[in-house]
Amino acid sequence: MKRFQILSGLPAYGELPEQFSSTGMGTHSEGMVVEFFPNETSSSWIGNFQRGLTSLDKVLAHPNGSSAIVIAGGECYIIEIENRKLKESFGGMYETVFCIFEKNIVILGTSIDFDALNASGHLWQSQRISWDGLRHLKQEENILSGEAWSLGNTWIPFSLDIDSGKHTGGAKI
């Protein structure tokens, strides 16, 4: 069953959308609009999510199986679909997402570090890996790897353990 979908904009009619903002501001303007489908017997509802500071817009199932992770312009919102409640908002600068289905983990990446969520909530936050930029990111088995920007305009390889959030390599901070 489909639990959510991103819409192209606010609907012109129907019930007013639920407003979500990490700062309490901007709820008078259109953000990222998502339609949620609680269950087969309940009607859908619309959420309007104010964006953070990046271009990443994505909605995915939370590892807990009942909530949704909404990333609007890099700002992360954890939403309880059934009761239209915001459990938590954080971030603002997420640029990448990795879903590790076999471990039931979602990894969110900024330009300098990573955060991981599991069914219980926050699993770990990595230490800073880059001065300002990560590229060539890939996930293979239990490792997330790529290159981290360092002073002198150089790119330094790094690898990060998905279970612990510990990394080797990367920029010297």
Q: What is the pLDDT of residue 153?
A: 93
Residues 72/49, Cβ–Cβ less than 8 Å: yes
Reported as a pLDDT band with limits 50, 70 and 90, residue 163 is very high
Strands (E), the chain: 4-7, 18-20, 32-36, 45-49, 57-61, 67-72, 75-80, 85-91, 96-100, 105-109, 114-118, 121-125, 134-140, 143-150, 154-161, 167-169
Token look-up 């271009």 returns: 55
| pLDDT digit string, tens, across residues 78-110 | 999 999 999 999 999 999 999 999 999 999 999
Distances (CA, A) of 58 to 9, 15, 24: 15, 23, 21
- The reported pTM is 0.95
Q: What is the mean pLDDT of the chain?
A: 96
Cα–Cα distance measured from residue 19 to residue 117, given in angstroms and rounded to the nearest whole number: 24
| pLDDT digit string, tens, across residues 103-138 | 999 999 999 999 999 999 999 999 999 999 999 999
Beta bridge partners of 167: 160
**What SS3 class is residue 31?**
coil
